[in-house]
Structure 1
């Protein structure tokens, strides 16, 4: 029997997701928006996912600064999920006080998006965007039946948008400078450049440098050939008395 060759092996796995958005705010949060004289800029999920991909690749290549940012992103997304769930519960409880059975409703022409994000965190953010879309639908429904007024509705919608933009901004500040833990250990010029470029005022936490603290969905770190073939350090033991 002939041995297997590369042609008999399956290629890399590829996944795709789709979601339906009903509010114009959620669509804007996905695509983003450039700043104009009338409107503020919106950081979109598509830009966030691109940054996440770069950070994820750098973390795979042993960049401790990328690991630092992945932890920051992980925390931001988990906090956002909790807030969205809590808000949804609060507004659902408010709707239950109405004598009218509220149908959350939806757009007459929802936008269906197809995505193929490679990063787990980009897909988590996509799920949060759908939660935000559902939450805003609930808020609009409450305004429609008079449970909240227009001013409160606009205030709550703004709060949801602000929270989502803040989550997407968690990836800001990282700069790829082809650095790894060896650079940090040896305090190379590249290390100093990275530290200044990313505006760090203190050293990275020891737990990040020794890899004991990493984000829940951080990628595997590629093995450094220098570590494989590095000769073990000689230890000088004490002589017996």
Structure 2
């Protein structure tokens, strides 16, 4: 016999924590505040904040938000492959260790553990990239410590890995909420024209994205609606503090190899 009542169940919750072992990776999480002598630099926390706004834009049927979600998803996939390529090259270096020499993992005696409050799958995929970089840094520093690579090579490898994440974060900063929906484009009204002008440097939006037939694999459900106002002005300065987990590093040098 079917139940004639509904259970009053609450929403699901889970705790997610990120553990980092290197200063190089933690700087990429926090980013850097703008100072008098240096420009601000967005971190993964700011990237996650921008993704939240892009998601809300998608929920409001903004085709340019859908376009950017696709671009970011593709960039993450490319970044994952780039990180794997560096890791494979490092495997070749580590393979030159004498067979009688056994080296374990180098882990921080006091790693930093951060609670994560992320609301988009692509933000989590970026976190996976950051953990890959954290592991890569540890291996690079170990290879340098045992004399497999010199200081110059160490610096180049550290910077190469960091640049992968920097480029991903930088892509998200080019997004702006267009303020137009697909209905506006169908009506060819003033809002759609303003949106086209806003994104003129990107060229014409692909037709299948404009029509809504192609979206990101992680796009919000078509049934999702949002009436919240999106303000994208506060991320143009280059630094975001999306999730307050501590103060970002302000006095660390730009190149990842300097630490």
TM-score > 0.5 by shorter chain? yes
TM-score w.r.t. the length of structure 1 is 0.84
RMSD: 2.0
Deviates more, 1:109-118 or 1:37-46: 37-46
8 Å contact 1:173–1:198 — kept in the other structure? Answer: no
Q: Name the CA distance, whole Å, in 1 between partners of 2:146 and 2:65.
A: 47
Q: Name the CA distance, whole Å, in 1 between partners of 2:52 and 2:202.
A: 25
Cα shift at 1:223: 7.3
Cα deviation 1:9-50 (Å, max 9, x = unaligned): 323333432121111010010011124466564320110000
2:248 is matched with none
**Gapped regions of structure 2 (runs ≥ 5):** 226-259
Which of the pair has the greater relative contact order for Cα pairs under 8 Å at 6+ separation?
A: 2
Q: Name the CA distance, whole Å, in 1 between partners of 2:16 and 2:79.
A: 21
**Gapped regions of structure 1 (runs ≥ 5):** 225-241
2:81 is matched with 82
The alignment of Structure 1 onto Structure 2 pairs a total of residues equal to 221
- SS at 2:184 equivalent: helix
Q: Name the CA distance, whole Å, in 2 between partners of 1:118 and 1:16.
A: 13
Change (3 A) 1:222 1:13: same
- SS at 1:18 equivalent: strand
For residues 61-140 of structure 1, the aligned pairs below 5 Å read: 61-99=60-98, 100-140=101-141
Cα shift at 1:154: 0.9
Q: Which structure is larger by alpha-carbon Rg, 1 or 2? A: 1
Cα deviation 1:109-133 (Å, max 9, x = unaligned): 1111110201000010011100010
1:32 is matched with 31
